[in-house]
Amino acid sequence: MTNEQKTQELAALDKAHFIHPTSPIKQQQEHGPSFIFTEGKGVYLKDTNGNKVIDGMSSLWNVNAGHGRKELAEAASEQMKTLAFTSSFSTFSNEPAIRLAAKIADLSPGELSAVFFTSGGSEANDTAYKLARHYWILKGKPEKKKIISRNNSYHGVAMGATSATGLKPFRDFTNSLAPDFYFANSQSAASFRHLVEQEGPETIAAFIAEPIQGAGGVHPAPENYFKEIRQICDEYGILFIADEVITGFGRTGTMFGMEQEGAEPDMMCFAKGVTSGYAPLGGVVLSKKMHNDFKKLSDGVLLHGYTYSGHPMSCAVALENIEIIEKEGLQENAAIRGKELTQGFKAVQARRNTIGEVRGKGLMVGLEIVKDQGSQEKFPTKQAPFLIAEAAKRGLICRSVVFGEQDALVFAPPLCITKEEVEKVIEIMEDCIVALEEQVL
Ligand code: PLP
């Protein structure tokens, strides 16, 4: 069978049987899957047609250590051969889960010190909401149940996570959501204070935020925002949850995004980069204070847990992955390469007229597309989808973000990206911007 025949056969089966998550069904039915990947190495992915492309998104912001890491495959294989699965319910335990919990506690900022494992980020966030509410029940304040999130945020697709997601199209996808979720303006701590005072602090359990909004278009918080949030939470007895599902494990240039914000959360959710995507895993790290309170006040069974909480294979992969991140200094590389990527894009912005803004931190970078840099006027039709198609033709995968007024491209390549590969990304993007300007200006 030729590559072409194989691609056609797989595309037909894909169309008939594979419902893709977060994908346009009509486009899939018309054109088939846009790529069928077969292998990966470093920042590169290869498809069934033999095309080699730069994975400028680390797939879903998660392949932090890069593709094709044999050590991770070996860690998984060794663990599966020894002990593929055992439960963590009923106080049963296993060595990789214990060692990973201790390792994450050690790496986490400040007083964060005890880990609850999940299978991914949505479950981590739902766990944080439930643990926050359970905490207040144990503390004799059961009326504290509201969760405040932010506009333009993304927290996943489980029912709680969707209900906390500020990007309205995700909430509108379904016609009934979980109650008691509220939204503050993501760019102003004063808006959070106002909402707390309006709703009544005695009814509020927790606040949740991404250190840098990812799916919402790569938006860092304003200077001192999280310091003010921490103060307001302390003033009113509100738990502060950091959603580090994207920003954790080196992406922003430090091990966790919050380290650069001067504020310590009470709970920190993680997933994605903890295993670099080689195995599904997520979790929540609790502060020593919360953990101690649970130890003191909880008499019965902690009635929350997933079959795969503390999965031995996923935990073994995570331990090996964290060792790679530390040994190779991937968070430092993210800081250095992130600066180069941002500066490179700013140089393109200076040469061309259609990049309105370059924003981000570490290897999370966003470009806002405008019709005219001077006036910041937007195109009447969003151009980011055209640009990602042009980038794919030239061997680069990136993502478009067109929620609300945005017409943006986002980039989050693997943290092992080299200087030369960063230059290649910039060169391809400049070609795409030139193509856009030739077509529409
Ligand atoms: N939180 C954030 C900030 C995310 O970006 C995501 C996924 O992109 C999630 C939570 C949900 O994680 P998962 O898709 O593993 O459930």
From the CB of residue 81, how many other CB atoms can be counted at a distance below 10 Å? 8
Instruction: State in Å: Cα 316 to ligand 1 middle.
Output: 21
- Cβ 120 under 6 angstroms from ligand 1: yes
pLDDT value at residue 440: 87
Instruction: State in Å: Cα 235 to ligand 1 middle.
Output: 29
Exposure class string for 302-311: b at 16+ Cβ within 10 A, else e: eeebbebbbb
- Cβ 121 under 6 angstroms from ligand 1: yes
Instruction: State in Å: Cα 61 to ligand 1 middle.
Output: 9
Contacts of 383 (CB under 8 A, 6+ apart): 354, 369, 407, 436, 440
Whole-number Å distance between alpha carbons of 308 and 322: 20
Distance between the two ends of the chain, CA-based, in angstroms? 45
- Cβ 271 under 6 angstroms from ligand 1: yes
- Cβ 214 under 6 angstroms from ligand 1: yes
- Cβ 333 under 6 angstroms from ligand 1: no
The residues facing 118 across adjacent strands are 282
Q: pTM for the whole thing?
A: 0.98
> Nearest 5°: phi and psi at 20?
-80, 135
Q: Which residues of the chain have pLDDT under 50?
A: none
pLDDT value at residue 441: 74
- Cβ 154 under 6 angstroms from ligand 1: yes
| Residue nearest (by alpha carbon) to ligand 1 atom 10 | 155
The residue whose CB lies within 8 Å of the most ligand 1 atoms, and thus the one to mutate among 61, 154, 159, is 154
Whole-number Å distance between alpha carbons of 343 and 42: 23
Whole-number Å distance between alpha carbons of 74 and 68: 11
- Cβ 210 under 6 angstroms from ligand 1: yes
Percent of the chain as helix, strand, coil, to the nearest 5: 45, 20, 35
Instruction: State in Å: Cα 270 to ligand 1 middle.
Output: 9
The residue whose CB lies within 8 Å of the most ligand 1 atoms, and thus the one to mutate among 246, 269, 275, is 246
Instruction: State in Å: Cα 272 to ligand 1 middle.
Output: 8
| Residue nearest (by alpha carbon) to ligand 1 atom 8 | 156
CA distances from residue 212 to 103, 147, 230, 348, 437 in whole angstroms, order as listed: 24, 19, 16, 23, 30
Instruction: State in Å: Cα 133 to ligand 1 middle.
Output: 21
pLDDT value at residue 319: 99
The atom number, within ligand 1, closest to the CA of 282 reads 15
Q: What angle do CA 333, 334, 337 make, to 5 degrees?
A: 75
pLDDT value at residue 391: 98
Whole-number Å distance between alpha carbons of 433 and 348: 9
Contacts of 345 (CB under 8 A, 6+ apart): 355, 358, 365, 367, 426, 429
ipTM greater than cut 0.85: yes
The atom number, within ligand 1, closest to the CA of 272 reads 15
> What tokens appear for 248 in the block?
């954790």
> What tokens appear for 317 in the block?
């992969």
pLDDT value at residue 308: 98
What secondary structure does DSSP assign to 80-129, as a single string?
HHH------GGG---HHHHHHHHHHHHHSSTTEEEEEEESSHHHHHHHHH
Whole-number Å distance between alpha carbons of 369 and 398: 14
